[in-house]
């Protein structure tokens, strides 16, 4: 059976799971963007019944699927945010008969997981670019800061209303403090700290996503198969 949810951009070819020795080395790294798993089917459930229960997952906008001979392949393009499989772009589900009963095996790839895995590298690169630009731009900024120097020396006073209400008066910066602040200001402008913080955040998000999405899809498939 071939299904086509209300897709927004036409037909696409079904995904094909990697196979053969030539691609076995990919198994070493493809865990980064691939979610695999297997679930026991409820006693007596046939492949057709199992896929019928899972079909709502693939009846989503932007999803194309092809079901035949105990397997289902799908592709997704721009799935909705609330699509329960929105992180996956392609994959295959297969029902295999085993002595203890049927087993559903699935293999799904996710560009989102790969993107999140690579994002820390991107932000580290941004950090390096910021540092590099800071080194190149330093002479110009120092000149500009000199121009501002006189302006900053002025003592400013609060409006009488603010004085009456007790707001702290602005302080005139001390000479050495001013120099220190100027240096810090220059550093801040070309500081890579934010880039490194985001690199860390994405690394953390990857770990969370890789574990969370794996468990979520397993739970959702299990619930659907058991009719919950």
Residues that bind another protein (CB under 8 A): 8, 61-62, 78-82, 86-87, 112, 115-116, 119, 123, 126-127, 129-130, 133, 137, 144, 147, 156-159, 161-162, 165-168, 170-171, 189-190, 194-195, 198, 201-202, 205, 208-209, 212-213
For the CB of residue 227, give the shortest distance to another protein in the complex, in Å. 23
For the CB of residue 57, give the shortest distance to another protein in the complex, in Å. 15
For the CB of residue 13, give the shortest distance to another protein in the complex, in Å. 19
Residue 1 or 167 with smaller CB distance to another protein: 167
Residue 33 or 202 with smaller CB distance to another protein: 202
Going from the C-alpha of 92 to that of each of 21, 46, 178, 184, the distances in angstroms are 19, 17, 64, 55
Residue 32 or 119 with smaller CB distance to another protein: 119
Structure tokens at 202: 């994405």
For the CB of residue 67, give the shortest distance to another protein in the complex, in Å. 25
Q: Are 198 and 121 in contact (CB under 8 A)?
A: no
| Interatomic CA distance for residues 200 and 118, integer angstroms | 12
| Interatomic CA distance for residues 210 and 207, integer angstroms | 5
Residue 85 or 95 with smaller CB distance to another protein: 85
| Interatomic CA distance for residues 172 and 131, integer angstroms | 31
For the CB of residue 88, give the shortest distance to another protein in the complex, in Å. 10
Residue 14 or 62 with smaller CB distance to another protein: 62
Residue 49 or 214 with smaller CB distance to another protein: 214
For the CB of residue 208, give the shortest distance to another protein in the complex, in Å. 7
- Round to the nearest angstrom and report the end-to-end CA distance of the chain: 24
Question: Residue 36 pairs with which residues in a beta bridge?
Answer: 107
- Please state the three-class secondary structure of 137-161 as a single string: HHHHHHHHHHHHHHHHHCCCCCCHH
Q: Are 84 and 98 in contact (CB under 8 A)?
A: no
């Amino acid at each position: 059976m071939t299904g086509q949810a209300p897709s927004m951009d036409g037909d696409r070819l079904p995904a094909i799971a990697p196979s053969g020795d030539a691609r076995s080395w990919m198994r070493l790294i493809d865990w980064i963007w691939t979610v695999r798993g297997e679930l026991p089917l409820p006693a007596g459930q046939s492949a057709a019944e199992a896929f019928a229960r899972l079909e709502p997952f693939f009846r989503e906008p932007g999803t194309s699927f092809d079901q035949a001979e105990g397997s289902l392949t799908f592709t997704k393009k721009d799935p909705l945010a609330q699509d329960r499989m929105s992180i996956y772009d392609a994959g295959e589900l297969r029902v295999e008969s085993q002595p203890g009963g049927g087993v559903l095996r699935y293999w799904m790839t996710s560009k989102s997981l790969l993107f999140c895995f690579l994002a820390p590298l991107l932000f580290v690169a941004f950090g390096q670019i910021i540092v590099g630009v800071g080194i190149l731009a330093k002479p110009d900024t120092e000149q500009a800061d000199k121009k501002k120097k006189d302006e900053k020396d002025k003592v400013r006073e609060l409006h009488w209303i603010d004085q009456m209400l007790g707001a702290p008066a602005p302080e005139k910066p001390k000479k050495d403090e001013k120099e220190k602040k100027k240096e810090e200001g220059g550093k801040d402008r070309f500081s890579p700290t934010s880039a490194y913080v985001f690199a860390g955040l994405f690394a953390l998000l990857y770990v969370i996503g890789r574990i969370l999405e794996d468990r979520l899809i397993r739970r959702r498939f299990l619930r659907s198969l058991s009719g919950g």
